[in-house]
């Protein structure tokens, strides 16, 4: 689990999910944690374990998507020596390792139907049987499972066992994506920024410019908190003047004018499907004051390039095709001071 990430946030949706996890923690029943990638499903599993009477026992994690289908059952339930090719000695499975503790099954939806059937038996009877053995082993394991899939829909389609879903869904905790967690982007950005500044031995934490904060708010964060942490740490690491607010955010680390060109297609190879152009963000129908709209757009462009060039005004002027005096006039017009956007 990623122990560098903590439960940080103040939005109602986030706090409700944390409270539900805290209430479910003392129970012995299974819990399903649902959420997009990067929302903190692993952290919820750890909270469920640490706040339970099992906190002193093992917390065992298995990423079900990280193993091929042929090995997942052996990993879960163990095997005896000679049970299959390559099984030179017996080994315990994750269920036995987690006895008296908690077993966290990440990416649950990737389990094969065969593994689901054996998992159902383990949940119902508290017994597992190693591959190659006929002797069941009693285990006392609390199961926490996580996925970003729609399990009820998968069950309707016959891709996930409905009876297993019934047994695992005593409590279902759905984590909100970062884009709906009102106010949490600034809180998390400040936390990750301060931590990175400390790692870099900065004397003070200057915060972010207004333009950078707006860019963080407008981003959709498909990778949620994990993506935010990477973006913030990269921005602080690349910012070499701790006396000024961090003014440039690069969301895509692969963005570069020198990106390699795609390989030419071989003869007979079909062309890739065209990528539709993104719709412009501006709602032109809402523009009632053309001059104000143009000025706001001009200000946003200048703010962006100032941040990208670390507030080096001569480099910014060159990037925008302006003289130094023209840039200074533009900054004064829009109230953009020496230390970033106002």
Q: Are 136 and 128 in contact (CB under 8 A)?
A: yes
Instruction: Write the class of the CATH domain 182-257+288-334.
Output: mainly alpha
Spatial neighbors of 319 by CB under 8 A, at least 6 apart, are 305, 308, 309
The string of pLDDT tens digits covering residues 290-342 is 887 787 888 878 877 877 776 778 888 888 888 877 888 888 888 776 544 43
Q: Kindly state the tokens that stand for 23.
A: 């209430």
- Whether pTM > 0.85 for this model: the answer is no
Alpha carbons 336 and 249: distance in angstroms, whole number:
18
Instruction: Write the class of the CATH domain 12-176.
Output: alpha beta
The domains of the chain are located at: 12-176, 182-257+288-334
User: Mean pLDDT for the chain?
Assistant: 87
Residue 187 has pLDDT above 80, yes or no: yes
Q: Are 185 and 216 in contact (CB under 8 A)?
A: yes
Q: Are 129 and 80 in contact (CB under 8 A)?
A: no
pLDDT-derived band at 280 (thresholds 50, 70, 90) equals very low
**Which SS3 state, helix, strand or coil, does residue 129 take?**
coil
Residue 27 has pLDDT above 50, yes or no: yes
Question: Of all helices (H) and strands (E), which one includes residue 333?
Answer: helix 324-334
Query: Which residue is it, tokens 């059937």?
Result: 117
């Amino acid at each position: 689990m990623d122990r560098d990430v903590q439960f940080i946030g103040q939005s109602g949706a986030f706090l409700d999910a944390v409270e539900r996890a805290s209430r479910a923690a003392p129970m012995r029943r299974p819990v399903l944690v649902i959420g997009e990638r990067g929302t903190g499903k692993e952290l919820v599993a750890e909270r469920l374990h640490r706040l339970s009477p099992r906190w002193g026992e093992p917390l065992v994690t298995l990423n079900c998507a990280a193993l091929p289908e042929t090995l997942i059952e052996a990993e879960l339930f163990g095997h005896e020596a000679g049970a299959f090719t390559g099984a030179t000695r017996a080994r315990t499975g994750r269920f036995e390792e987690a006895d008296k503790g908690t077993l966290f099954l990440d990416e649950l939806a990737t389990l094969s139907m065969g593994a689901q059937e054996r998992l159902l038996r383990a949940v119902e009877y508290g017994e597992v049987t190693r591959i190659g053995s006929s002797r069941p082993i009693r285990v006392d394991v609390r199961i926490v499972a996580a996925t970003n899939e729609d399990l009820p829909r998968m069950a309707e389609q016959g891709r996930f066992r409905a009876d297993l879903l019934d047994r695992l869904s005593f409590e279902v905790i759905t984590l909100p994506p970062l884009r709906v967690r009102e106010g949490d982007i600034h809180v998390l950005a400040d936390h990750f920024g301060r931590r990175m500044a400390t790692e870099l031995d900065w004397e003070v934490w200057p915060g972010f410019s207004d333009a950078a904060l707006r860019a963080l708010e407008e981003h959709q964060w498909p990778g949620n908190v994990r993506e935010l942490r990477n973006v913030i740490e990269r921005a602080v690491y690349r910012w070499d003047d701790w006396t000024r607010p961090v003014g440039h955010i690069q969301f895509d680390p692969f963005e570069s004018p020198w990106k390699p060109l795609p390989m030419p297609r071989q003869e007979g190879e079909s062309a890739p499907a065209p990528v539709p152009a993104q719709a412009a963000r501006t709602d032109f129908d809402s523009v009632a004051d053309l001059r104000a709209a143009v000025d706001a757009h001009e200000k946003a462009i200048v703010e962006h390039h100032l941040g990208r060039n670390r507030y080096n005004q001569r480099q910014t002027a060159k990037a925008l095709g302006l003289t130094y005096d023209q840039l200074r006039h533009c900054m004064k017009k829009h109230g953009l001071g020496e230390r970033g956007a106002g």
